[in-house]
Amino acid sequence: MTNKELEYCILEYGKDIYSFCRHLTAMTQEADDLYQDTFVKAMELSAGMEADGNPKSYLLSIALRIWKNRKRKFAWRSRIWQEQAKGSEYETAAEYAAADSPEEMLLQKEELDTINAAVAKLPERQKVVVLLYYMEEMSVEEIAKITKIPAGTVKSRLHTARKTLKKELEDILNEERSG
């Protein structure tokens, strides 16, 4: 991968890669680091990237691999030091559609925040598959290739995540109606 090709990838896929990083990490600073490290690693592994291949998929797989490695290292260090991870409030990176009134904008924001919070509560394995499928609009086969799991497992995780999200969102909606 030449500098021109990398520049093209950043311009073409940078927003999608950053959005994916934001959803994975749920924190702006960590997302920034992951995003930057993804493109640094892509430059280091430039020989592995095919010019006529799918660069977006390749970059997403690099980001996912880096994120998993960081989580594994953090978990190991936490066991050694017996520290607990600090929680953070989930921030949303979604862009909102134009609304007719401030009330509609507020309702849309609350709805997106509710959905994002429900997705954030999913187990990691399901969350990654949901983010790739819905946010990045990737096919089951592409997700299987990126995550290095069988397509049937991807389908199973999607199905389980949908059921969990449906129940979670129905419970929230029922609470709002009764409250």
All domains of the chain in start order, with CATH: 1-86 (1.10.1740.10), 98-179 (1.10.10.10)
The closest of 57, 38, 55 to 4, measured between CA atoms, is 55
More confident residue, 44 or 129: 129
* Distance separating alpha carbons of residues 168 and 118, to the nearest angstrom: 7
Span 20-49, mean pLDDT? 86
Q: Would the pLDDT of 77 be above 50?
A: yes
Q: What is the pLDDT of residues 102-116, one digit of tens each?
A: 777 777 778 788 888
* Mean model confidence pLDDT for the chain: 80
* Distance separating alpha carbons of residues 89 and 47, to the nearest angstrom: 39
Residue 101: its pLDDT value, please? 63
Provide, rounded to the nearest whole percent, the portion of the chain with pLDDT above 70. Answer: 78
Considering the entire predicted model, what is its pTM? Answer: 0.60
Write the CB contacts of 38 (distance below 8 Å, at least 6 apart in sequence): 17, 21, 59, 62, 63, 66
* Distance separating alpha carbons of residues 138 and 151, to the nearest angstrom: 12
H or E, element range at 163: helix 151-178
